[in-house]
Amino acid sequence: MGTPPLTRRAVFSLAGLVAVAYGTQLYALSVMVTEKAAGGEFSISLLSAGFGGAAIVAGLSAPLVGRIADRHSVRGLIGFGALMSGGAFGLFAVATEGWQIVAAFWLLLGPATAMTGYEPAYVAIGQWILPSERNRAIALVSVVGGFAGPIFIPLTGWMVTTIGWRFASGILGMTMVVVGGVGAFIFLPKGGPPAEAVSSASSVPWRRFVEDRRLFAFSAAVLVSFGVLSTVFLHRVAVFQEAGFDVRYVALLAGMSSLFTFPGRWLAPRMAERVPAISIFVGSCAALAGVMMFAVVAGPAWVMWAFFALFGVFFGVLLPMRAVIMNEWYAGEDFGLLMGKQWSLAALAGGAMPWIGGVLRDALGSYVVPMLIVVVGMAVAAALGVAASRASDDIARRLATDTIG
């Protein structure tokens, strides 16, 4: 039986569940790696390896998650993923050895991240929302998701300094179980896409990412930008703590940074109805490359304020663009699997770069070199976006010629 169109309540619920997942699995962990939290008992390299490995596992899981989302409801994906995430945080809270953290993150948090992130939400929107309304739905999910940072970063910073990082981790795990797991089964609609919308194809061949020049260039841009952003999100609190600022102060600013994402989260998908979405993607990547130079300097205080404010502004613009661009270029019966495979590629960088950043920081005793690398990486992502835009223009010209012919 097909699933009825998502109501406004269902879209808000979907967005809220994704916000809780991102708040715990991404934003809260950026506080956990500091020396006031788990970083005081375990090395940053180890914690980065746990986080990075989880991101890689999430990417490897993404094609399967995408295929399930193409054929079934996202309700079960998000619900069971939230329960797995809660288990991972529970094990993290009681870990006494490094291998226990790695096992919890790789075996539980990795798959859970794939099942509870924006990917299933975007697939649901592609299935159940009319094309004319999709950008608005994407904007809504993105805006509600924006509350994750302002809530979870300062809250986690406060919990770490008052009750300790282990109790804080336990509370985060219970939040995922109660809000994410139970909430998904209560508020998200039952059933999958209409039977006629389910693809009969068995797979999206990997060679498509090579043969389609536009898809290749844009996927490479997504890969690089996601690797850079994952590195920044995991280490940004530690970067400024290392520069001499109090972790609670930095965590508060990191949370406030998310408030600056709201205009971009809401307006960027609407702007894409008038301006090519790929142009918005390129511009935001280029702007973020400049903003990240502030993380290289990391002081005085006004530099830190500028970093968090401007990073929030341009990250908010960038965040919904992948979904907008891919819906515009490739929406169809295998959209979930295509998005999943693209995300699996991006997750390689999203897992490797934060770990490399942590290793370099421990080896060099400073975050300067890792932050310089992310500056260059974001500039490369902008250049790849330009290549994707040119390939898209070539496709449009060929279609116009064929139509005239």
Mean pLDDT of 241-247: 84
Q: Determine if the peptide bond prior to 154 is cis (ω within 30°).
A: no
Mean pLDDT of 254-275: 87
Give the integer Cα–Cα distance in Å for 130 and 195.
Answer: 17
Contact between 110 and 58 (Cβ < 8 Å):
yes
The tens digit of pLDDT for each residue in 213-229 reads 999 999 999 999 999 99
pTM here is 0.73
Query: What pLDDT, on a 0 to 100 scale, did the predictor assign at position 1?
Result: 34
Does residue 128 carry a pLDDT above 80?
no
The tens digit of pLDDT for each residue in 112-122 reads 988 888 778 87
Mean pLDDT of 67-89: 84
Query: What pLDDT, on a 0 to 100 scale, did the predictor assign at position 6?
Result: 45
Query: What pLDDT, on a 0 to 100 scale, did the predictor assign at position 343?
Result: 80
CATH annotation of 8-197+204-404: 1.20.1250.20
Q: For the ranges 179-188, 298-307, 375-384, which has the lowest average pLDDT?
A: 179-188
Query: What pLDDT, on a 0 to 100 scale, did the predictor assign at position 201?
Result: 45
Q: Which residues contact 306 (CB under 8 A, 6 or more apart)?
A: 291, 294
Q: How many other C-beta atoms are found inside a 10 Å radius of the C-beta of residue 290?
A: 13
Chain-wide mean pLDDT for the chain?
84
Mean pLDDT of 7-22: 80
The partner residues of 192 in beta bridges, in order of sequence, read 2
Query: pLDDT: is 331 or 374 the higher one?
Result: 374
Query: What pLDDT, on a 0 to 100 scale, did the predictor assign at position 145?
Result: 80
Give the integer Cα–Cα distance in Å for 221 and 198.
Answer: 29
Does residue 272 carry a pLDDT above 70?
yes
Q: How many other C-beta atoms are found inside a 10 Å radius of the C-beta of residue 207?
A: 8
Q: For the ranges 126-135, 176-185, 288-297, 312-321, which has the lowest average pLDDT?
A: 126-135
- Indicate the pLDDT class of residue 105, thresholds 50, 70 and 90: very high
Does residue 194 carry a pLDDT above 60?
no
- Indicate the pLDDT class of residue 189, thresholds 50, 70 and 90: low
Q: What is the share, in percent, of the chain residues with pLDDT greater than 90?
A: 31
Query: pLDDT: is 227 or 331 the higher one?
Result: 227
Give the integer Cα–Cα distance in Å for 170 and 93.
Answer: 6
Contact between 255 and 149 (Cβ < 8 Å):
yes
Contact between 362 and 43 (Cβ < 8 Å):
yes
The two three-digit tokens of residue 233, written as one number: 């999100």
The tens digit of pLDDT for each residue in 282-326 reads 999 999 999 999 988 887 889 999 999 999 999 999 988 998 899
Q: For the ranges 145-154, 186-195, 342-351, 364-373, which has the lowest average pLDDT?
A: 186-195
Mean pLDDT of 161-188: 87
Listed in sequence order, the DSSP H helices in 274-334 are: 277-291, 293-297, 301-318, 321-330
